[in-house]
Structure 1
Amino acid sequence: MTVFKAFLRHFVIYFAIFLFLFLAWYFITKSSIALGLILGTVISVFMAFSWYVSLRRAYDEHTTNIRTGSATRVILVILACLIWYKFSAYINIFGVLLGLLLTYVLITFHAITTQIFRKR
């Protein structure tokens, strides 16, 4: 299974559910928090993909030098902040931050479910 297909199976489904909910919330209420959550979730997908690729590379190569893709994730957070700064009248920063945190919530969820449902 390719890295992208595995990423789709593990994470994108959950991101899509959250993104659909946030889009529905935005179209119903026109809330700036919902728009911030949408922006944060979209950036969060790229952050999770960066993390997942680094994790798979470290797992496949069996090296002691493990890279986590932190620089890429920091650049993506800066990009989200720049977009918020440009459109701060329309986007709520707390929504952006919660959307960005969604990556780490899903990583933790994935780790817990992997440990619970792993074949022994």
Structure 2
Amino acid sequence: MSEFKTFFNLYLKYFLCLIILLAVIYIFYRNSFILGLIIGTIASAVSSFVWHHNLLRAINSDALYVSSGMGIRFLIAIMACLFWVRYPDTFNIVGIALGLMLTYVMIIIHGVNSLKK
């Protein structure tokens, strides 16, 4: 449970705030780009949890081969894009792509903040 708590403190609370903010904006504007961004952000949050879990497992492991979870993260991105394939008028692919990139932006921000300390 402490692994999830660590993940929540580092990343998930920011993802949840962003998802709630985007949901409120979507209620008022009903834009397909915002809806795509919500789907991409949710997929990005799940993807970052997979990344964080595999990172902690790699840190605690003595094995030579360490999994980064790339296959699972790739499948998460495909699942998010399948929303656009199935409903192209409802979801915007650019919004989904930007939402999926949020994981990497948050990793870079966390890394820069860690270097400053």
**TM-score tier (shorter):** over 0.9
Task: Kindly report the root-mean-square deviation, in angstroms, between the aligned alpha carbons of the 2 structures.
Answer: 1.2
Alignment map for 1:1-120 (pairs within 5 Å): 2-117=2-117
Q: Output one character per residue of 1:9-38: Cα deviation in whole Å (capped at 9) or x when no partner.
A: 100111012112211211110000000000
The one-letter amino acid paired with 1:24 is: V
After TM superposition, the score normalised by the length of structure 1 is: 0.92
Q: Output one character per residue of 1:40-85: Cα deviation in whole Å (capped at 9) or x when no partner.
A: 0011111000000000000111433221100000100110111111
Distance between the aligned counterparts of 2:24 and 2:98, measured in 1? 17
Distance between the aligned counterparts of 2:62 and 2:10, measured in 1? 22
Distance between the aligned counterparts of 1:23 and 1:75, measured in 2? 24
Which ranges in structure 2 are unaligned for 5 or more consecutive residues?
Answer: none
The one-letter amino acid paired with 2:86 is: K
Q: Secondary structure at the match of 2:25?
A: helix
Distance between the aligned counterparts of 1:99 and 1:62, measured in 2? 34
Using the aligned pairs only, state the percent identity.
34
Distance between the aligned counterparts of 2:91 and 2:55, measured in 1? 32
Q: Secondary structure at the match of 2:104?
A: helix
After TM superposition, the score normalised by the length of structure 2 is: 0.94
- Runs (4+) of structure 1 exceeding 3 A deviation are none
Which ranges in structure 1 are unaligned for 5 or more consecutive residues?
Answer: none
Distance between the aligned counterparts of 1:32 and 1:79, measured in 2? 17
Distance between the aligned counterparts of 1:66 and 1:115, measured in 2? 24
